[in-house]
């Protein structure tokens, strides 16, 4: 490559913003799809009192774990679409060929996924907490743990999405390979909420979730970029 090409390169920040803005715009144009994980979240939580018991005591006991498990499943369902349309129309190939490090582009795409699924799921979780008779002490930890945890869920899940994007029927397979990797996030997310309800401090669990998120930010984009290159090159 000639040096003139290099000097016309946008900076790291600009490249990140460009991908971010583009993906956000696309997400906002498909508003209907944005609501799907939220509706799923709501529907499954509605099933719990109907299927288990409407007794507030039982629901309160189930609430932290149930809210976390269903938020995790909702994230999982939204993953398949993460790279799908960009893969189909060739955008992904262009993105990987661009002189910017694929690390930055991948980070921007996953960040948008978190903004459009993780954050909305976190925001509706307290409402669903009311439906699940979540005790008062549980709301703040639920919000904080989901906010930190869904970031890791998006990053880890994107690895699975990148691995299966070239497969026509990747949905179920995606869940199969991603779910075992979600275990630590689920354990600390739900146990933080439970600890708060039972009157314990929950800062340890939040610290662990934050640590997972920082680790995922470092390592996951490498695996995602590798997997995307594999999916695009063949």
Closest approach, Cβ 105 to other proteins, in A, equals 12
Q: At what angle do helices 31-51 and 56-79 cross, to 10 degrees?
A: 150
Closest approach, Cβ 124 to other proteins, in A, equals 27
Place of tokens 């979730």: 209
Whether the Cβ atoms of residue 125 and residue 71 lie closer than 8 Å to each other:
yes
Size of the site for other proteins (CB under 8 A): 51
Q: At what angle do helices 12-29 and 102-113 cross, to 10 degrees?
A: 30
Q: Is 139 in the site for other proteins (CB under 8 A)?
A: no
Closest approach, Cβ 147 to other proteins, in A, equals 15
Site string for other proteins, 161-200 (x = CB under 8 A): --xx-xx--x--x--xx-xxx-xx--xx--x---x--xxx
Q: Give the footprint of other proteins on residues 36-55 (CB under 8 A).
A: none
**38-46, 70-78, 129-137, 221-229 -> range binding other proteins (CB under 8 A):** 221-229
Closest approach, Cβ 19 to other proteins, in A, equals 14
Query: What DSSP element (H or E) covers 161?
Result: helix 139-164
Whether the Cβ atoms of residue 185 and residue 153 lie closer than 8 Å to each other:
yes
Closest approach, Cβ 118 to other proteins, in A, equals 18
Exactly one of 20, 74, 79, 104 binds other proteins (CB under 8 A); that residue is 104
Closest approach, Cβ 172 to other proteins, in A, equals 9
Pairwise CA distance, residues 82 & 118, whole Å? 13
- 61-to-7, 69, 134, 142, 225 alpha-carbon distances in Å: 59, 14, 8, 14, 41
Identify the burial level of 226 via C-beta atoms within 10 angstroms of its C-beta, where 0-12 means exposed, 13-18 middle and 19 or more buried: middle
Pairwise CA distance, residues 112 & 219, whole Å? 18
Exactly one of 39, 101, 127, 140 binds other proteins (CB under 8 A); that residue is 101
Residues that bind other proteins (CB under 8 A): 6-7, 9, 11-12, 99-101, 103-104, 159, 163-164, 166-167, 170, 173, 176-177, 179-181, 183-184, 187-188, 191, 195, 198-201, 203-205, 207-208, 210-212, 214-215, 217-219, 223, 226-227, 230-231, 234
């Amino acid at each position: 490559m000639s040096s003139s090409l290099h000097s016309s390169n946008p900076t790291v920040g600009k490249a990140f913003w460009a991908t971010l803005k583009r993906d956000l715009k696309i997400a906002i144009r498909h508003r209907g799809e944005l609501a799907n994980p939220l509706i799923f979240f709501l529907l499954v939580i509605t099933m719990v009192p109907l299927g288990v018991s409407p007794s507030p005591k039982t629901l309160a006991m189930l609430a932290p774990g149930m809210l976390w498990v269903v938020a995790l499943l909702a994230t999982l369902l939204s993953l398949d679409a993460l790279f799908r349309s960009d893969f189909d129309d060739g955008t992904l190939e262009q993105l990987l060929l661009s002189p910017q490090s694929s690390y930055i582009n991948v980070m921007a795409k996953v960040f948008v996924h978190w903004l459009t699924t993780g954050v909305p799921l976190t925001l509706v979780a307290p409402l669903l907490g009311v439906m699940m008779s979540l005790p008062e002490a549980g709301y703040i930890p639920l919000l904080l743990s989901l906010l930190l945890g869904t970031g890791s869920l998006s990053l880890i899940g994107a690895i699975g999405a990148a691995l299966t994007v070239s497969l026509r029927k990747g949905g179920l397979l995606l869940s199969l390979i991603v779910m075992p990797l979600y275990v630590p996030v689920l354990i600390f997310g739900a146990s933080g909420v439970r600890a708060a309800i039972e009157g314990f401090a929950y800062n340890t669990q939040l610290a662990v979730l934050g640590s997972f998120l920082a680790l995922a930010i470092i390592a996951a984009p490498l695996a995602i970029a590798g997997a995307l290159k594999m999916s695009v090159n063949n």
